[in-house]
Amino acid sequence: MKAFITIIALLCLQTTFSQAFSGKGDVKFQVGANFQNNGTGIMGSLDFGLGENISVGIASTYLLGIDKVRDLEGNEEPFAKFEDRIDFRVRFNANLGNVINVDENFDVYPGLYASLKNFGGHLGARYFFTSGFGVFTEVSVPISKYNTDTLTPAEKLHNQVSVNIGASFNI
C-alpha cells in the first residue's frame, strides 16, 4: 500500500510540474520570430509569476529583415536605423489557462505592455509538450503611440500589429 501511495504521489507531483503556468514563482523564457509590415526579426521575453493568474515581465524585439530603399544616388540601404529596429517592453499578463481549463499544458494570457514606442495590448497562447519545453504565439496591438505626428515608415516599425511565434521554456 505504501508503494502505491508513493507512486500516486510522484505522478501527481510530475503533473504539477508540467503545467503551462503554475502561479507564484513560475518563470517563463520565450524566444521566437517577430513578423510585422516592412520587417521581420527576433524577440525574447521573460515572465515572472506573481500570483495564481498574474505575471509580469520584460520583452524585446529587434528587426533584422528590413525592407530597403534607394537613396538619391541609387544605392540600396535599410530605411530604419538601430533605434527604429529595437523595442523594449515591460508587460503584465493575466494567465487564464487554469480558468478556461482546456488542458493543463495550455495557457492563454492576455496582457498590457508599455514599450519605448507605445502602450498596447497582447494576446498570447502557449502549449508545453514537456515540463520544460513548449511553443507559443502572440499578437500585439498598439493602443496609444507616443509620437502622435504622421509616422515615417521607420517609425511605423513596432507601432503596428505584430505577430510572434516561437519556443517557450520553464526556468
Q: Which residues pair with 35 in a beta bridge?
A: 40, 163
What's the confidence (pLDDT) of residue 68? 73
What's the confidence (pLDDT) of residue 115? 96
Q: What is the mean pLDDT of the chain?
A: 86
- Let me know: does 19 contact 132? Beta carbons within 8 Å: no
- List helix spans (H) across the chain: 2-17, 82-85, 97-100, 153-156
Name the domain count of the chain: 1
Domain that holds residue 163: 2-170
Between these two residues, 107 and 4, which has the higher pLDDT value? Answer: 107
Q: What's the CATH number where 29 sits?
A: 2.40.160.20
Residue 61's nearest CA partner among 124, 111, 127, 116 is 116
- Let me know: does 125 contact 135? Beta carbons within 8 Å: no
What's the confidence (pLDDT) of residue 6? 45
User: Residue holding cell 498570447?
Assistant: 124
User: What tens digit of pLDDT does each residue of 129-143 get?
Assistant: 998 999 999 999 999
Backbone angles phi, psi at 97, to 5 degrees: -55, -45
What's the confidence (pLDDT) of residue 11? 45
Percentage of residues in the chain with pLDDT exceeding 70? 84
Burial of 7 (0-12, 13-18, 19+ CB in 10 A): exposed
Task: Answer whether residue 150 shows pLDDT above 60.
Answer: yes
User: Residue holding cell 517592453?
Assistant: 89
CA 25 to chain centre: 18
What's the confidence (pLDDT) of residue 17? 44
Between these two residues, 72 and 26, which has the higher pLDDT value? Answer: 26
Q: What is the pTM of this model?
A: 0.79
What's the confidence (pLDDT) of residue 63? 94
User: What tens digit of pLDDT does each residue of 13-30 get?
Assistant: 444 444 566 668 889 999
